Chain A
């Protein structure tokens, strides 16, 4: 099983390289280190959840770069009605 996995890994090393390059270049170009996105995400969660209940675990913050233009993409799913009424389940995600 292990050797099988290794074979798969080997075959896909170029795809992994491309994926990692894309990621790192987006951050290099925008001059925002990946760790800072996590901090921004925490700040956004804190601010928004003061007003509306949100699905904290599913919040995503990423950089989208098209040519010379970079933009911050923030996706914040609001908590569904039925889950809002069960504060326990929402809280557990904290």
Chain B
């Protein structure tokens, strides 16, 4: 096996990278692929809790790099999908704990065993970002339909290109279709026009996401709703299926719909 390494990143923080990583990983696993989701945000461990696997961590990627365990011992098997594994990171270390060369080496080890490696990268342009960019075969940049995250996405698109890891593709996250219709929110077309970058998927705002994160059950595993189906579409595009891009109706609360916010 020779895995494809997909790095998920963003310019701005808080746009939903970890949620996207968890769900894209789960959706690939649902498609019968052997998947490892890797937390690349050393010191700010989060992928474990979003996946609902936080109680099962014994070793992490830094333990493997520093020779305290074998790679297999650090990988946590997620039994909810046929072949899904999490490689957690250290919570009490900083970005320098894994060098760029070590990250490439770690992914090369994983490549032998998996179909897809999905890395949750830190935001922005710090060292941790370059560490997660180095092993990437494909880069997905998460942005929200809002000026500051779109601006920051442009910066990261440029960096990805300058490292010859491009062309990156966009995940537009948390789009509220009703607000786009009312011209209160940037549409997919607006963002594509401004960034001249291809979109791999549009994830509509969906109140299921917060609840599924509360429970540690990514929507893409068995959930229904517009976000879950958007993540499945992204996974199918990643494996090369020709799935037409369509923006699904967002799923917001009755209150928000009544007051025209959803």
Contacts and interface: CB of A to CB of B under 8 A. Distances in A.
Interface of A is mostly: helix
Contacts of B183: 11-15
B126 interface: no
Contacts of A28: 151, 154-155
A83 interface: no
Contacts, number: 37
Nearest to A67: B196
A10 B190 contact: no
A74 interface: no
Contacts of A25: 151, 154, 194-195
A65 to B, nearest CB: 10
A13 B194 CA distance: 15
Interface residues of B, number: 17
Which of B183, B185, B196 has most A Cβ within 10 Å? B183
B193 interface: yes
Contact of B190 (A12, A18, A67): A18
B198 interface: no
A16 to B, nearest CB: 9
Q: List 4 tightest A-B contacts by C-beta distance, closest first.
A: A14-B183, A21-B194, A25-B154, A17-B147
Interface of B: 147, 150-151, 154-155, 158, 182-187, 190, 193-196
21 contacts: A11-B182, A12-B183, A13-B183, A13-B184, A14-B185, A14-B186, A14-B187, A15-B183, A17-B186, A17-B190, A18-B186, A18-B190, A18-B193, A20-B147, A21-B147, A21-B194, A25-B194, A25-B195, A28-B155, A29-B158, A67-B196
